[in-house]
Amino acid sequence: IDALTTPPPSATPSAGGYSHPYPLVGIIMGSDSDLPTLLPAARILDAFSIPYELTICSAHRTPARMVTYAKEAAGRGLRCIIAGAGGAAHLPGMVASETTLPVVGVPVKGSVLDGVDSLYSIVQMPRGIPVATVGIANATNAALLAIRIIGSASPETAADLAAYAVDLEKEVLDKVDKLED
């Protein structure tokens, strides 16, 4: 990870808050109302010690900011963008159209339609501009997918993912033992 986080010469540090100065993953969301849905992604990245940044970037309310974010992301050293949005959830797809980085889309539940509208908006990308879409509100899997992308170039991260899978297996087997007692 240290080798991966060496910033490119053009990199500018992120602002403070949740953000690491030289993040590998960008977590963006259409509104602050999306934050509770996206926070589990931050928690998983914390658990794997993957540096990330987290900010608001709306496809509809701040389109210029969204385009700048997407265009500069790779040059700043990001390896993956997690984008969450609800309603007319255009953010992940629009960001994917302005970067060559992998984009993972998280459908956020709105006040109506239970997030199915967001899921359909994000998953139904036109041929040529892919977005890796996770389940409705499944920011945990979005982070794990981002970590897998990073792990493909970092044996250390790949080993952490293998250990995570062992823990998951143990968790289930412990439940089996309890049931059978």
Q: Coil, strand, or helix at residue 53?
A: strand
Give how far the C-alpha of residue 11 lies from the chain's centroid of Cα atoms, to the nearest Å.
20
Q: Which stretch binds ligand RP5 (CB under 6 A): 83-91, 127-135, 140-148, 151-159?
A: 83-91
Return the structure tokens found at 69. Answer: 């974010």
87 belongs to the binding site for ligand RP5 (CB under 6 A): yes
Nearest distance in Å: CB 118, ligand RP5: 7
Cβ-contact 80, 104 below 8 angstroms: yes
Quick note: the x/- pattern for ligand RP5 over 29-58, rule CB under 6 A, is xxx-xx-----------------------x
Q: Which stretch binds ligand RP5 (CB under 6 A): 25-33, 42-50, 157-165, 173-181?
A: 25-33
The radius of gyration of the chain's CA atoms, rounded to the nearest angstrom, is 17
122 belongs to the binding site for ligand RP5 (CB under 6 A): no
Return the structure tokens found at 63. Answer: 């389109």
- Beta partners for 52? 25
CB atoms within 10 A of CB 33: 13
Minimal CA–CA distance to 48: which of 137, 163, 172? 163
Residue 132 host element (H or E): strand 132-133
* Binding-site member from 85, 94, 122, 125 for ligand RP5 (CB under 6 A): 85
Nearest distance in Å: CB 110, ligand RP5: 6
Nearest distance in Å: CB 99, ligand RP5: 19
* Binding-site member from 23, 26, 51, 86 for ligand RP5 (CB under 6 A): 86
Residues that bind ligand RP5 (CB under 6 A): 29-31, 33-34, 58, 60, 85-87, 108
